[in-house]
Amino acid sequence: MSTLGRHDIVGSLGALQRYARALTRDDARAEDLVHDTLLRAIERSATYRAGENLTNWLRAILHNTFIDQRRRATADARHLRHAATQADTAAPPDQESRLQLREVSRRFDSLPEEQRAALYLVVVEDMSYRDAADLLGIPLGTLMSRIGRAREALRAADDPAAAPPARTNLRLLRSDHG
Q: What is the distance between the alpha carbons of residues 63 and 33, in angstroms, rounded to a whole number?
A: 9
CA atoms within 13 A on the CB side of 87: 7
The alpha carbon of 124 is separated from its chain's Cα centroid by a whole number of angstroms, namely 27
With a CB cutoff of 8 Å and minimum separation 6, the contacts of 80 are none
pLDDT tens for 28-58 read 999 999 999 999 999 999 999 988 899 999 9
Ordered alpha helix ranges (H), 25-138:
27-43, 54-90, 95-110, 113-119, 129-136
Task: Please tell us whether the domain made up of 6-90 is placed in CATH 3.30.360.10.
Answer: no
Q: Which CATH number fits domain 95-159: 1.10.510.10, 3.20.20.70, 3.40.50.2300, 1.10.10.10?
A: 1.10.10.10
pTM above 0.85, yes or no: no
Cβ–Cβ < 8 Å for 141, 133: no
pLDDT, tens digit, 9 for 90 and up, residues 73-131: 999 999 998 887 776 565 566 788 888 888 888 888 889 989 988 988 898 889 899 98
In order of 32, 113, 175, the CA distances from 27 in angstroms are 9, 69, 102
Question: Could you tell me the residue ranges of all domains in the chain?
Answer: 6-90, 95-159
Angstrom distance (rounded) from CA 108 to CA 141 = 21
- Running DSSP on this structure, what letter comes out for residue 25? S
CA–CA separation, 77 and 83 (whole Å): 10
